[in-house]
Amino acid sequence: MKRLLAALAACAALLAAPARAAEPVKTLRYALRVAETGFDPARISDLYSRSLAAHIFESLYEYDPLARPTRIVPLVAAGMPEISADYRTFTIRLLPGIHFADDPAFQGRPRELTAQDFVYSIKRFADPATHAQNWADYEDAGLVGLAALREQAIRTKQPFPYDTEVAGVRALDRYTLQLRTTEPRPRLVASILTGNDLYGAVAREVVEFYGGGIMEHPVGTGPFMLKTWRRSSQMVFERNPGYRERRYEARPAPDDAEAQAIYAKLKGRRLPMVDRVVVDVIVENQPRWLAFLNEEHDFIERMPEEFITQAAPGGRLAPNLARRGMTAVFTLAPDVTLTCFNMDDPVVGGYTPDKVALRRAISLAYDVRKEIRLARRGQAVPGQAPAMPGTSGYDPAFKSEMSDHDPARARALLDMYGYLDRDGDGWRDLPGGGPLVLVRNTQSDSLSRAIDELWDQALRAVGLRLQLKVQQWPENLKAAQAGNYQMWPVGSSASQPDGIGLLQYYYGPAAGTYNLPRFKNARFDAIYRRMQALPDGPGRQALFQEAKRIAVAYLPYKVHAHRIITDIEQPWMTGFRRPLFSQDFWQFVDIDATRQPAR
């Protein structure tokens, strides 16, 4: 009886006590400057969609969020792979007990991640029906039997035989994956096993359940789930309630004060630290900047160039923003901006001396340093070749005419190869007669408009007529992939420390995917294949140099610049550090909801 009375008294006390306040929901909100295209790892290729998908899916390995130089660590793998002495066999064991997020495709049953999911996910890239933009990554890896299986499906026009086992991609048991390659692949872990956005596991049941709608129904093992999607407008992601227990771990360099401070604050915290992420799409720079200043967004990524002198003059956060408690992160990105020339186009394409001369003249007419000074407000450094800062193959001492501005030489080249004004209208014509009109696909945002104006001025000065074709970015991407364009500006960000990733943009078999110009050169392709098998060292560096010289000589791309990216956090957001070779960061940042303004 005494125990009963004591229990009743305890219950009464609990009922009488004031209710505990619910924990505030931590919401991270920011904006993209370019619209997304979807969320299926096998089908996306643009940076903006990849930056979203990276938080839904998980690859076997990831990059340490704070380490510089970068360090690869296990994510869903139980440890680093066992690699054979000849770099041809890779055996990876998965952590048991990792589950996909709940979804109707699983019919109410928990769905554990297995080695077979990675086998299926890799095979999806080989399936011709998937139209995988990054098939070239797996083709380059040379997984035994995978390309042959793809060719069989293309030849027979039959559905891809997912259940046919291939020696190069096998599940040895429920939690053990084995990859075998035809040639040595010393950097396979970084090239196709690290990066949630492209190499994360998908479940076969989900793909078959949603069919053609898979781009809008992503289901992964990652920390976040897509809740709502208004195309090209807003996406809402929520914490995956079934996400496993995972803690913040990193290994910052001892002399990296910024990283050490982040680690001291967040070490051991359970991931993810935020509950909800809202991503708006705001194409115009001014409203995106104002949304941040008005505290509608928690941080602004890739600070708009035209406002950089207000936000961070001279590479330091403006005093008025510092007084508000904001923090700026400056990064020389492992990226590059480029102008593609369609090598199949009858005007700017081709390999004959007159066609090469036209592209060289276009390049020499354009002033990259003026672009950096005026359009980019100093937030870039000139590029010289297809190599990105922080990657192997990048040599700051390498110099080419890629960054030269020499209108006199441009005019001389055009005159020499017969691009003359034959009818007296002030514009140069084709050598065989007929108008010479250059068409540049572009977008309507303010940065594109500023660069378009510089291009028009530069080409007009040497007698070349330019027309602009303004479309949304996804439409320009589709046109480029189909080969229906003449010139188009693009950017690329490295996904791994190996610089060969950018050389893939020139590799013949990657035409129509990474190789948007459809450039074909037998010597370049041979160098590329040789570099895949070579270990890092002087011999491989010499091949980098030769590949860069070929790229500069034929000029299927004009290399513009490597961007300096400025990101700014509000005072209630902590932990952001721009990833160099990955796209995910939401799980590594925290929001103090008690300081965040009500929205």
Tokens of 307: 């406002």
Do the strands 276-281 and 27-32 form a parallel or antiparallel pair, or are they unpaired? parallel
Q: What is the dihedral of CA 132, 134, 136, 141, to 10 degrees?
A: -110
Q: CB–CB of 342/582 below 8 Å?
A: no
Backbone CA torsion sign across 407, 412, 414, 415? positive
Beta bridge partners of 491: 337
Q: 147 φ, ψ to 5°?
A: -65, -35
Peptide bond into 69 cis (omega under 30): yes
The pLDDT profile of the chain, 599 residues, written as one tens digit per residue, is: 444 444 444 444 434 444 444 678 999 999 999 899 999 999 998 889 999 999 999 999 999 999 999 999 999 999 999 999 999 999 999 999 999 999 999 999 999 999 999 999 999 999 999 999 889 899 999 999 999 999 999 999 999 999 999 999 999 999 999 999 999 999 999 999 999 999 999 999 999 999 999 999 999 999 999 999 999 999 999 999 999 999 999 999 999 999 999 999 999 999 999 999 999 999 999 999 999 999 999 999 999 888 999 999 988 999 999 999 999 999 999 999 999 999 999 999 999 999 999 999 999 999 999 999 999 999 999 999 999 999 998 998 999 999 999 999 999 999 999 999 999 999 999 998 899 999 999 999 889 999 999 999 999 999 999 999 999 988 999 999 999 999 999 999 888 999 999 999 999 999 988 899 999 999 999 999 999 999 999 999 999 999 999 999 999 999 999 999 999 999 999 999 999 999 999 999 999 999 999 87
pLDDT at position 12 is 44
Going by their DSSP bridges, the two strands 169-173 and 89-93 should be labelled as unpaired
The three-state secondary structure class of 208 is helix
The Cα–Cα gap between 489 and 441 comes to: 8
Print the SS3 string covering 48-82.
HHHHHHCCCCCCCEEECCCCCCCCEEECCECCCCE
Q: What is the pLDDT of residue 22?
A: 65
Q: What is the pLDDT of residue 11?
A: 44
Select from 275, 244, 278, 247 the least CA-distant residue to 263: 247
Phi, psi of 489 (to 5 degrees): -85, 135
Say if CB 452 and CB 499 are below 8 A apart: no
